[in-house]
Chains A and B, each alone.
Chain A
């Protein structure tokens, strides 16, 4: 029955080629699949070796996908206002089916992603993979690191509990001390910076962490930061291929 199904137009239109184990089909399997064709058809043996790449870049991306999916689900249950945010969290944790699972996974995956991104950077450094021609992709990576941290930090505020507002208060208090642009920073007061017009005020939408901050961080967390991070990830992945795939020793230079 399955064999005759395989002959139908529907099947052929979806899978495009037969699945006999030939070199050609193995190649087509990658090229014909929109998700897989991010890959080259063939790569160096050591590039598929987990002990070389540690898989941390790939896992960071997987965690980003998990975060996107769980994050969208959370958005159905969460209103970014000081009045409702905390109540919505309580409701989610106590009354929504699978609510805790989704929220926990979003939080732990966020922590895990910060971790894997740092380890990924460590690996890329230790294999010297930022050296030509991959200099620029390292720079893109550093930007991704920054956005990963900012995403995690902005999300930290959203539960609107004691832990979140105080952590964000501690973090954003630094902005007061920004040289030139903060009201307690070097030369800030001389330039006319006050608590109600410096960078921290712009960041928080007020002189302290309050309802406008919640809204600002929410929009940043759900739209602005992920969109930009996604754009940089696209560049990152595209550059990996353009730079010749995963780094490896250049045998022309290094004579055996």
Chain B
């Protein structure tokens, strides 16, 4: 427990606590405002669209906010010192070595993916996906007021990505990952000598296909099996969804938009699936799954 308290009160980690509190508060605020608007029918913002003068009505809010922020920054800076550890030393690796807090969600994903996915491909997809949002969400409703009813899918998807995959993984990566990036509950002591004995398995091995041939080269059958799984996952789900649910989704969005939405959505869920694939076997005393798809050049 003392470990956990030490980590949570580390000056550099205060933003994470603020983030958690902030995210809960603002989610609640937005939800309750959205609900109120949904019940009312006409959003309340629409009744407040008469014009007011910026001076004084906006300027005074900005002025107060400025004073408040400055006061908080001064108090924060007087009471907590920015960390300054021992001088940089290339031959002394701290354990655990952690990236700055806002990247810890990505570092946490290193448990589940190789660096080229967790560190390069996923961040790229996140950025491009974010930029694509205005162009793929063509729902005209819900522009400029809080609501839930008018855009359920958009809000649920974005909130899942932001709150669960981004914010909560940051919290896990910072607060619950100790030496060797091993998982420790808050009440457990960080034991630097703890070694998690894990024999990894690949998905194909659960189906009786060994990943490697006796000469240690990659088994082509396993490669093909993996390719079928991954490519199948990316194609079958979007097509199935079209067939099963309403096909006018395609008419509304067009093929290109639909494909992008499906790709981004399936990728996001894929991250969750990979986490589940790795963690659930452990619950049953089985070997955790490391790769779904192994090739001589890259592994997924």
Q: Residues of A at under 8 Å CB distance from B?
A: 23, 26-27, 29-30, 36, 39-52, 54-55, 58-59, 62-63, 66, 82, 86, 89-90, 93, 100-101, 103-109, 111-112, 114-115, 118-119, 122-123, 125-132, 134-136, 138-139, 142, 145-146, 149, 152-153, 156, 159-167, 169-171, 173-179, 182, 184-187, 190, 208-210, 247-251, 253-254, 256
Which A residues lie within 8 Å of B44 (CB)?
A: 46
Contacts A44-B49, A104-B77, A254-B46 supplied; 6 other A-B pairs, CB < 8 Å: A36-B54, A55-B65, A104-B82, A131-B139, A136-B134, A162-B89
Q: How large is the interface on B (under 10, 10 to 19, 20 to 34, 35 or more residues)?
A: 35 or more
Tell me, rounded to whole Å, the shortest Cβ–Cβ distance linking B251 to chain A.
20
Interface-lining segment among B125-133, B224-232, B234-242, B254-262: B125-133
Which B residues lie within 8 Å of A173 (CB)?
A: 115, 119
B51 and A43: CB pair below 8 A? yes
B93 and A104: CB pair below 8 A? no
Docked pose: A162 CA to B22 CA in angstroms = 30
Which A residues lie within 8 Å of B145 (CB)?
A: 127-128, 248-249
Chain A residue with minimal CB distance to B163? A122
B158 and A131: CB pair below 8 A? no
**Interfacial residues of chain B within 97-140, with CB under 8 A of chain A in the complex:** 97-103, 106-107, 114-116, 118-121, 127, 130-131, 133-135, 137, 139-140
Given contacts A166-B97, A254-B43, contact A128 B143 (CB under 8 A): yes
A167 and B146: CB pair below 8 A? no
Which A residues lie within 8 Å of B45 (CB)?
A: 46, 52, 248-249
Which B residues lie within 8 Å of A109 (CB)?
A: 73
A115 and B99: CB pair below 8 A? no
What are 18 A-B residue pairs whose CB atoms fall within 8 Å in the complex?
A41-B53, A44-B48, A52-B146, A101-B78, A108-B73, A108-B76, A114-B15, A128-B147, A131-B137, A138-B133, A138-B134, A159-B84, A161-B85, A165-B88, A166-B94, A177-B114, A182-B120, A247-B143
- B27-65 CB mask vs A (1 if < 8 Å, else 0) is 001100110000001111110111111111111011001
- B1-37 CB mask vs A (1 if < 8 Å, else 0) is 0000000000010110011001100100110011000
B120 and A152: CB pair below 8 A? no
A170 and B98: CB pair below 8 A? yes
Docked pose: A33 CA to B9 CA in angstroms = 44
Tell me, rounded to whole Å, the shortest Cβ–Cβ distance linking B146 to chain A.
6
Task: Tell me whether B142 is interfacial, beta carbon within 8 Å.
Answer: yes
B14 and A177: CB pair below 8 A? no
A135 and B18: CB pair below 8 A? no
Which A residues lie within 8 Å of B56 (CB)?
A: 26
A62 and B66: CB pair below 8 A? yes
A104 and B76: CB pair below 8 A? yes
Most B C-beta atoms less than 10 A away, residue of A42, A45, A254: A254
A186 and B297: CB pair below 8 A? yes
B120 and A119: CB pair below 8 A? no
Which A residues lie within 8 Å of B115 (CB)?
A: 173-174, 176-177, 184
Most A C-beta atoms less than 10 A away, residue of B23, B58, B143: B143
Tell me what chain B mostly uses at the interface: helix, strand, loop, or mixed: helix
Task: Tell me whether B151 is interfacial, beta carbon within 8 Å.
Answer: yes
Tell me, rounded to whole Å, the shortest Cβ–Cβ distance linking A107 to chain B.
4
Which A residues lie within 8 Å of B88 (CB)?
A: 82, 86, 160-162, 164-165
B77 and A101: CB pair below 8 A? yes
What are the 3 closest A-B residue pairs judged by CB atoms, nearest first? A174-B119, A135-B134, A186-B298
A256 and B52: CB pair below 8 A? no
Docked pose: A126 CA to B148 CA in angstroms = 9
Tell me, rounded to whole Å, the shortest Cβ–Cβ distance linking A16 to chain B.
14
Task: Tell me whether B155 is interfacial, beta carbon within 8 Å.
Answer: yes
B130 and A127: CB pair below 8 A? no
A170 and B58: CB pair below 8 A? no
- CB < 8 Å neighbour of B52 from A43, A131, A142: A43
B15 and A112: CB pair below 8 A? yes
Given contacts A63-B69, A135-B135, contact A156 B81 (CB under 8 A): no
- CB < 8 Å neighbour of B140 from A45, A90, A182, A253: A253
B69 and A62: CB pair below 8 A? yes
Task: Tell me whether B83 is interfacial, beta carbon within 8 Å.
Answer: yes
- CB < 8 Å neighbour of A42 from B34, B51, B131, B154: B51
Given contacts A108-B77, A250-B143, A250-B144, contact A45 B87 (CB under 8 A): no
A129 and B52: CB pair below 8 A? no
A179 and B131: CB pair below 8 A? no
A23 and B116: CB pair below 8 A? no
Docked pose: A185 CA to B119 CA in angstroms = 11
A139 and B131: CB pair below 8 A? yes
Docked pose: A254 CA to B26 CA in angstroms = 26
Tell me, rounded to whole Å, the shortest Cβ–Cβ distance linking B297 to chain A.
5
A132 and B143: CB pair below 8 A? yes
Which A residues lie within 8 Å of B59 (CB)?
A: 30, 36, 39
B297 and A43: CB pair below 8 A? no
A119 and B26: CB pair below 8 A? yes
Which A residues lie within 8 Å of B137 (CB)?
A: 130-131
